[in-house]
Structure 1
Amino acid sequence: MNYKIFSDERYNNNVIYIGGIFCTSEREHILLPLLQSVKENFNCEGEFKWTKISKRSIIAYKQWLNIFFDDPHVRFLIFKIDKNTLEWRNFENDSGYRNALISVYIQFLLSIFKTKSDNNIGWFISHDFGFFKKDTDIKSIEIKLNKVYKRSLPNRKRVIQLSKTIDSKKDNLIQLSDLLIGSLDYTLNQIEPESQPKNEFLTYFRNYYSLNLYTKNKLKKNCHLRLG
């Protein structure tokens, strides 16, 4: 069985969020037409993202949330990195900023991998470009994790089948990840948006989020990072 990860990042002052949707390859082929049909039905062109929520598009954005929350086969995980902590500053000073981000992304992936007990799952990873300065960065993660898993489980297939960076404008599931990251950023930090459309969207998201018994398996939060 193959799973796919569609991840993005968000910067908020000295905090970095990394979040990603993950689902089977089969589920991807169900979700993408649903998301695209919403755009077409509401004549919404271009990229959906947190910073572009508007009065004109608010209903379409809400429908994207419906698609995510109403599907029991798709999950989302988010990491929060506070760059103000002494732990992060020491780690960045020792490793360099680029290597520190690579290490954090590896931990993000491992947390997703641990949600599945099947050792024969192959993962395909797509991340919005910008977080990694070079494609070689995400490829180095692929090589490193495959070597680690090969040593511990020599008979398993490659844990990461393929990793790549992609322009989020070309992938609706990365765009959906961006919306979830933005919504969780404002929700976890109890921030209220200044714009009315964003406020309306966030209220809609929080109505889902407040259903703790349901969302605890949909939105997995990991705000305590081990560094090093």
Structure 2
Amino acid sequence: MPDPRTTPAPSGDRPVDNAALWIGLLLRQFPELSVELAPGRAAPDHRPTPPPPPADLAGRLRAERAEALLLQQAHGLVAPGHSAAPLRLNISDTIRDITDGVVELEEAVRDRLGLSRVRRAAVPERLRRIAGLLDGIAADPVLAAHVRDETRRMARRCARALGDTETVVRVSGRCPWCDSVSLRAFPDRAAVLCVNPGCRCTDPDCGCHDDPAYRHTWDEGEWQHR
């Protein structure tokens, strides 16, 4: 068993590595929200073209919400008096919350990194752009923790709205950091986590020192080579 006093912290312990897992989960699950918005109705082949993006952030958020509304209309939200599948308001709220959250997060990341604004885009593309900046984000511990926390919050809200229960598999052996039998594999994330809330490593920059919800994470490839 590796000695945590002499073994460097796994790269999966960095906040940006954890954020990458949450972004991946959002990329897989966010599109499912539009399907669940009004079950039983197929999306039309063409959607109305949203208006051009405004220059200010508040306007951009309004435009993103308008786009989410167009998405809802494409899945069954119509004027009163017309026949339509019932709209699931909790899904609608989740779409709006995540859409706003991703827009604000990308704006904050680019502002903190001194990058210029980029064109307006749908949530999945924005998430991929944030993922493409993770190396730069990693150099700023405050920003990295913020990105980790926000992507985790949004991914968990998305999963709750979809009613998902993640598969968890017990892993034999003990955690290399806390020596407890607290290792669990999460196949959907292709990751191994230590679920012991008291687990702490020797890396002062690790999220376990400042985030009570943080769990040490190794991806499957890293774990297989331990």
Does TM, scored on the shorter chain, surpass 0.5? Answer: no
Taking structure 1 as the reference length, the TM-score comes to: 0.28
**Structure index of larger Rg:** 2
Taking structure 2 as the reference length, the TM-score comes to: 0.28
Q: Larger strand proportion, structure 1 or 2?
A: 1
> Relative contact order (C-alpha < 8 Å, sep 6+): which is higher?
1
